[in-house]
Amino acid sequence: DAKTTQPPSMDCAEGRAANLPCNHSTISGNEYVYWYRQIHSQGPQYIIHGLKNNETNEMASLIITEDRKSSTLILPHATLRDTAVYYCIASSGYALNFGKGTSLLVTP
Partner 1 sequence: GAVVSQHPSWVICKSGTSVKIECRSLDFQATTMFWYRQFPKQSLMLMATSNEGSKATYEQGVEKDKFLINHASLTLSTLTVTSAHPEDSSFYICSAEAGGGSNYGYTFGSGTRLTVV
Give how far Cα 42 sits from Cα of 4, 36, 37, 39, 85, Å.
22, 12, 10, 6, 11
Residue 14 or 23: the one with the smaller Cβ distance to partner 1 is 23
Specify the DSSP element, H or E, that contains 90.
strand 84-91
Size of the site for partner 1 (CB under 8 A): 20
In the complex, what is the shortest distance from the CB of residue 24 to partner 1, in angstroms, rounded to a whole number?
16
In the complex, what is the shortest distance from the CB of residue 14 to partner 1, in angstroms, rounded to a whole number?
25
Identify residues 25-44 at the interface with partner 1 (CB under 8 A). 34, 36, 38, 41-44
The residue range among 6-14, 19-27, 59-67, 98-106 that interacts with partner 1, by the rule CB under 8 A, is: 98-106
Q: Do 17 and 82 contact (CB within 8 A), yes or no?
A: no
**DSSP β-ladder status, 102-107 and 9-13:** parallel
CA distance 64 to 24: 10
In the complex, what is the shortest distance from the CB of residue 46 to partner 1, in angstroms, rounded to a whole number?
5
Q: Which amino acid is at 94?
A: Y
In the complex, which residues of this chain contact partner 1 (CB under 8 A)? 34, 36, 38, 41-46, 49, 57, 87, 94-101
